[in-house]
Amino acid sequence: MVYYAERPSRVAGAVLWTRTGAGDAHSVRPVLPDGCMDLLWSGGRLLVAGPDTRAYHPGPESAADRYVGIRFYPGTAPAFLGVPAHELRDRRVELTDLWPSAEARRLTERMDAARDPVVALESLALERAGRAEPPDPLITYVVKALEAGQSIAATAAEAGVNTRLLHRRSLAAFGYGPKTLGRVLRLQRALALAWEGMPYAQTAAVAGFADQAHLARDVKELTGMPLGELLRGRLRAR
């Protein structure tokens, strides 16, 4: 059985999560696009999970591993990592490939020696975040506007930038343009509503889709699975 748990982090907007326990390929659910990036520790390795444009399917060998991760609020990880998000899009990268090897090795050894890896990872993130640049107000506004279902044109106009500049800044912050970010955030809204039992047609309308068929297409394109199968899989996982 695979167990997953999460809680808010002291790093602003971030979430700490753990995944433990043995299982088979069916026990490890796909990681769905959410606009976020993660720093995670497992088996003596510190890794960075870049922003996903499609569902990420962990290999069967990962089912027995213990993972501890911190999921950063959309747009905030690049300042923490010192790397533009588009360079990590749809990738899982060793921290040693991003930071000086001596520093990455020191942090990995610190994690390996920790009695509580969750506390250790949050402490590491807090220290690094304290030295990072503060969040870009434009990026914070973009996330909130698109989460609320606002159009890209209206978001750019209210932020006082043109759509070309918004796209360029979004690539660095989120790993992709505002159109893709909007789709990903809309997907997450729909999944939350459908998981609570809202009928699909109503879910589509409330989440901002043109109709139920539009919802079905987007779910299949972004996750690789029909909505019903996705929700049944989540029920089995729980």
Are β-strands 37-42 and 3-8 bridged in parallel, bridged antiparallel, or unpaired? Answer: unpaired
Range of the domain at 172: 137-237
Looking at residue 179, its pLDDT comes to 96
Same domain, 156 and 124: no
Same domain, 69 and 51: yes
Same domain, 161 and 214: yes
Same domain, 83 and 27: yes
Query: What is d(CA 28, CA 4) in angstroms, rounded to the nearest whole number?
Result: 10
Looking at residue 61, its pLDDT comes to 52
Looking at residue 124, its pLDDT comes to 95
Give pLDDT tens digits for 1-59.
Answer: 778 899 999 999 999 999 987 655 555 678 999 999 999 999 899 999 999 999 998 76
Same domain, 14 and 122: yes
Looking at residue 155, its pLDDT comes to 96
Same domain, 141 and 115: no
Domain C-terminal end among 78, 102, 131: 131
Q: What percent of the chain has pLDDT over 90?
A: 80
> What is the gyration radius of the CA atoms in the chain, in angstroms?
18
Looking at residue 24, its pLDDT comes to 54
State the alpha helices, DSSP H only, in 28-177.
77-81, 101-113, 117-131, 137-147, 152-159, 163-174
Domain C-terminal end among 131, 166, 182: 131
Residues of the chain with pLDDT under 50: 64, 235-238
Looking at residue 183, its pLDDT comes to 97
Find tokens 């569902």 and name the residue.
Answer: 55
